[in-house]
Structure 1
C-alpha cells in the first residue's frame, strides 16, 4: 500500500483561504529610544494617528530655515514662478499675480485669506484670535475655546480645561436632556394655559 502524498508545507488550503493567496506581512518599526522593533500591523505607518501639532511645527521649521525645495505656483504657464501665497479653501499655492487672478474682487473667493505656500493643506479649523493657532481645548472657567499656547499661559492657570471633543459631547448631552424635558412637559404646559384661559373668560363674564 502506498501512502497518499501530502501537499508541501505552506501550500495547503483551508476554509477561508483562496488558493494562491499570500498572507500580508506585518510591518515593524525600530523604536528610537530602546531600538526594539515595534509591530505596526499590516497597515504599517498608515494605521497610526496623525500628529497635527507636530506637523505644524515641522512645517514652520522648514519654512524658517528654508530646507525644503521651493514651492512653485500651480497655475502659472511655463516657466512657473515660485509660489508666494497659499489658499486653504482652494488647496493650492499661487504666485502674487495668479492669486489676484483667481481671487478677483467682488467674488466669494476674494474673501479667502492667504496663507504661506505649502504642499500639505489641512482642513481649516477655528483659530485662536490671540495666537492665530487652531483651538484644541475648551476652558470651562472662562467658557471659551483655547489653543495649545493659551493652555500654558498664566491666564488659564488652575482653570478647568478639557479637549474640544469632550466639551462638545458633554454640552450636546446636556442640551439633549433639556430638550427632552421641555418636550415631555409641553402637553402639561398647554393644558395649564388652556385652564388659565378658561378661568380668564369666566372672570370677565
Structure 2
C-alpha cells in the first residue's frame, strides 16, 4: 500500500510541475526515485556469461533429471530422457540429409506442437541453425524466406509436406511414425557425435518485414 501511495503521489507531483498542457501518458516519468534505486540494486552485480550451447544445457538437465517432464504439449509429453533420445535420432537423420552442408539454415514448417521444440533441438544438435515458418504465411513469403536461407532441406509435418515440397528440395516429415521407424532401425540411442559448433555460431534466424515488404533476417 505504501508503494502504491508513493507512486500515486509521484504522478500527481509530475503532473503538477509540468508546464505542458498537452502532455501524454507516454511522456510521463512513471517511476519514483526510490523504485529506480531498488531496481538498480537488483542488477548491481553483473552476471558472468557462460560460453555454452543451448542443446548442451538440455543434455546436462537430461543427465541430472532424466525423468523430469521436459515437454508438456497438447499432442503429448516427454521427459528429458525421452526428449534427448528423440532429438538425437532426428539429429542423426538431419546430419545424413545435410552431409554436404555445414552450418546450414533449416526451415521448420510446423503447427504448434511438441515437434517444434524437438525439431529445434535436433537441428542444433546436427550443427545447423533453424528458422520458424508460420504455416499460415502466404506461399510468396515462404518462398522468399527459403530463397534467402538457401535451404535444401526442411522439417515439416504430413499436413504441410505437399505444400513445402514445392518450395524446398527435400522435406523431413517429423512425427511419431518417423521416430518409431528410427527406433526400429536402431533400438538403442544412436551414439551421435555432436557437430562442431561454437557459442558464436548461428542458431536461430527470424525474418521480419522490411519497409519495402521484403523479408529481412536477423
- Place the TM-score, normalised by the shorter chain, in its bin: under 0.3
Please, what TM-score do these two structures have when normalized by structure 2? 0.26
Please, what TM-score do these two structures have when normalized by structure 1? 0.27
Larger-gyration structure (1/2): 1
Higher relative contact order (CA 8 A, sep 6+): 2
Greater share of strand residues, 1 or 2? 2
Greater share of helix residues, 1 or 2? 2
